[in-house]
Amino acid sequence: MTDTSAPEVAALGILGGSFDPIHHGHLRLAEEAIEGLGLARVLLIPARPWQRPTAASAGQRLRMVELACAGNPRLHAEALELQRPGPSYTVETLKVLRERHGHATPLWLVLGADAFLRLPTWHAWTGLPALCNLAIVPRPGIDIAAHLPAELRDWWSRRSAARTTSAAGALTLLDAPQLEISATAIRAMVRAGRSPRYLLPDCVLDYIEFEGLYTQEGHGA
């Protein structure tokens, strides 16, 4: 008998952030998402934050992500948010990714528990369930259920520990060990003349040193 079932569509992960600079905590989380969710690739998307300026420029942050992803075909530096004018809005980014990858492709947005609890403050956040799945990374000391905003209860109630092939609307907890590495701390170390080696890839550190990044507050903004 011929199997006429449709082939499974490769799932994509989405990990956004300032990446100022990108470090091993970001990269390990991307790897955990690939393995835990069965993803084909993770798109690492440098954001254009509207809350505060970045220390490195958009081009410098993108270049650091490109360097960090080099050599791993399952990681991809995506410049989408930096190519648009104005601040980054996740819902707008997801709309573009939907157009690129089709409506059948599972898209997994990876968020820390703290960011998940703040979702109701995001621009047009109610459009997210139609555009993506959520993979929530628990944070020490954050009881999600105890602090869950009323607006998120319906989505939270549909969570599942199992991997799903749904294109959007699903939610799962991603049990990923967390490396306590801070981009803020890395910038402070560089500014103080200390080496952050082994907290981030050597290629990224070499780029920081070549560009003279983070040697003073606000450099590269």
* CATH number, residue 52: 3.40.50.620
Could you tell me where the beta strands, DSSP code E, fall in 106-201? Answer: 107-112, 133-137, 171-173
CA angle 161, 117, 131 (to 5 degrees): 65
Name the CA radius of gyration of the chain, rounded: 18
Within a domain: residue 200?
no
pLDDT in tens, the chain (221 residues): 444 444 467 999 999 999 999 999 999 999 999 999 999 999 999 998 876 789 999 999 999 999 999 989 999 999 999 998 878 899 999 999 999 999 999 999 999 999 999 999 999 999 999 999 999 999 888 999 999 999 999 888 877 765 668 899 999 999 888 888 999 999 999 999 999 999 999 999 999 999 999 998 654 33
Q: What is the pLDDT of residue 147?
A: 93
Q: What is the pLDDT of residue 163?
A: 65
Q: What is the pLDDT of residue 112?
A: 93
Helix axes 58-69, 202-211, angle to 10 degrees: 150
- Determine which helix (DSSP H) or strand (DSSP E) holds 77, and give its type and residue range: strand 75-77
Within a domain: residue 192?
no
Query: Which residue in this structure is represented by tokens 């934050």?
Result: 49
Within a domain: residue 127?
yes
Within a domain: residue 81?
yes
List the domain range (segments joined by +) for residue 110: 12-180
* Token pair for 111: 């968020």
Query: Which residue in this structure is represented by tokens 């707008």?
Result: 92
What is the rounded CA–CA span in Å between residue 179 and residue 165? 28
Within a domain: residue 53?
yes
Within a domain: residue 158?
yes
Within a domain: residue 146?
yes
Q: What is the pLDDT of residue 162?
A: 57
Within a domain: residue 202?
no
* Token pair for 103: 């409506």
Domain count across the chain: 1
What is the rounded CA–CA span in Å between residue 103 and residue 105? 6
What is the rounded CA–CA span in Å between residue 168 and residue 44? 19
